[in-house]
Amino acid sequence: MVQPTRAPAGAAAGASELAQHWPVLAVAFLTSLVTTGLRFATGPFMSPVAGDLGLTHTQLSAIVAAAMLLFGLAQPAVGRLADGWGSRPVVAGGIVLLAAALLAAAGTRSRLAFAIAYAGVASLALAATGQVALSPVISRWFRRQRGMAMMFLSAGGMGGIAVLTPVSTALIGAVGWRTAYAALALFALAVLLPLAWRVLREAPAVPAAASEAGAGTAPSPAVPAAREPAPAARAAAPAPWRPALATVPFWLLACGMFTCGFSMHLMGTNGVPMLEHHGFPPMTASLGIGLIGLVSIGGTLALGALADRMGRPLFLALIYFVRGLGFLALAAAGREWELYVTAAIGGLVWAGSPALTSALTADLYGARSVGTLFGLLFLIHQVGAAAGAYAGGWAFVAWGDYTGAFVTAALLLFAGAAASWRVAAYPSGPRLTPRAPSAA
């Protein structure tokens, strides 16, 4: 098994960190792909699970919504554990917990037991194996190329939508949803767990001088070359995040994050059933939804550079606006080529809004409080996710069709676009700590 290289300080000056530590990034990418893919591949399981357990779409959507909320609530705790213990034990424990939840869901005939396994245990496991848990180990191994490494991690999550949606549909069609869950659990234990435990090790401590010597470049005037503070030092630093809750930009960003969560999880939970209801075969519907994730991999890697040129608020507004148009087009698609064209265009703006929101949070309020504030914004994202997951099932039962829920998502996305565009009215931002004026 290839392990991360512990190169001597200064020995790899100028060398690419991606080349040196690619095993860490590859395992994090694969873990994010599988776990994020499972979180968004709910759609193919909806009808089989509902029919087998005797659940209505509204009841099953409520279970999914509860899982989304618990997933969001668990993020701050998972981040604290990964900071204190390291990513490896948190992610490995999450993989074991995920496998147990999938096996429990696959083996039960009880609606209550399924709800506990899916909404209770699996959501905690997915939080412990997601991007929040993986970010600390990536941040510690990658210094010079940390931004690119984080983009690859995000792309892994988007790849999970592209891969797991059609794979889940194929497994369900071949062996049923219970065996599909069991197979995914065994894959997690046999493949993900050994890789995570062996490769996701903590980076060795690097003294300040050695770290600068290994950078291979002169320190940037904008970013002083100094050793990153130890976790204890970070914890002791003041974090004046509470005043931000009384400012307008925070709630404008929160509006966008709510609509982001609502739309993404409405699609993840009800996208395949909606397309099936409109006459598409199950595999065609899954491939259409999967295409969104596939296209978004490249889109994720390009969004940052485009946003730097166009301005982050304007580009974030553009993402939400185009995504809203995509929801309207997807609900109206009646032919296979219309589905694939809409999915391909929508995939270009499917990812990137949380990353841009995080960047804008740092721009407005400073880097010292961005973690806490973005955590709160992500919780609002998950509130929207729960509402979106529930809305699809409720709309189908109440109106006999998913179109109303998808039109609602489009209107919310247009509101999120307007709110994000309005953030541009605060170029300096109500920063909580004094900072030098930015050229942007």
pLDDT in tens, 258-302: 999 999 888 877 888 888 888 888 888 878 877 877 777 776 666
pTM: 0.65
Question: What is the third-level CATH fold of 18-206?
Answer: Growth Hormone; Chain: A; (1.20.1250)
Give yes or no on whether 18-206 and 241-432 have one common fold: yes
Q: How many residues does the chain have?
A: 440
Comparison of pLDDT for 14 and 427, the residue scoring more: 427
Q: Report, as an integer, the average pLDDT of 362-384.
A: 73
Residue 233 has pLDDT above 50, yes or no: no
Contact call for residues 383 and 293 (beta carbons, < 8 A): no
Comparison of pLDDT for 47 and 409, the residue scoring more: 409
Residue 128 CB burial class (10 angstroms; 0-12, 13-18, ≥19): buried
Instruction: Please state, in angstroms and rounded to a whole number, the distance separating the CA atoms of residues 37 and 268.
Output: 10
- The pLDDT value recorded for residue 238 is 38
* Residue 223, SS3 per DSSP: strand
Residue 11 has pLDDT above 50, yes or no: no
- The pLDDT value recorded for residue 125 is 93
Q: Which residues pair with 223 in a beta bridge?
A: 220
User: Average pLDDT over the chain, rounded to whole?
Assistant: 77
Comparison of pLDDT for 79 and 226, the residue scoring more: 79
Instruction: Please state, in angstroms and rounded to a whole number, the distance separating the CA atoms of residues 383 and 310.
Output: 29
User: Radius of gyration over alpha carbons of the chain, in Å?
Assistant: 22
- The pLDDT value recorded for residue 389 is 80
Residue 43 has pLDDT above 60, yes or no: yes
DSSP state of 55: -
Domain boundaries, the chain: 18-206, 241-432
Residue 430 has pLDDT above 50, yes or no: no
- The pLDDT value recorded for residue 433 is 41
Comparison of pLDDT for 121 and 165, the residue scoring more: 121
- The pLDDT value recorded for residue 276 is 84
- The pLDDT value recorded for residue 216 is 35
Q: Which CATH number fits domain 241-432: 3.30.160.250, 3.30.70.20, 1.20.1250.20, 3.40.50.300?
A: 1.20.1250.20
Instruction: Please state, in angstroms and rounded to a whole number, the distance separating the CA atoms of residues 32 and 46.
Output: 22
Residue ranges of alpha helices (H) inside 311-369 are 312-332, 336-348, 353-365
Contact call for residues 414 and 327 (beta carbons, < 8 A): no
Amino acid, res. 349 = V
* Residue 90, SS3 per DSSP: helix
Instruction: Please state, in angstroms and rounded to a whole number, the distance separating the CA atoms of residues 58 and 128.
Output: 28
Amino acid, res. 397 = V
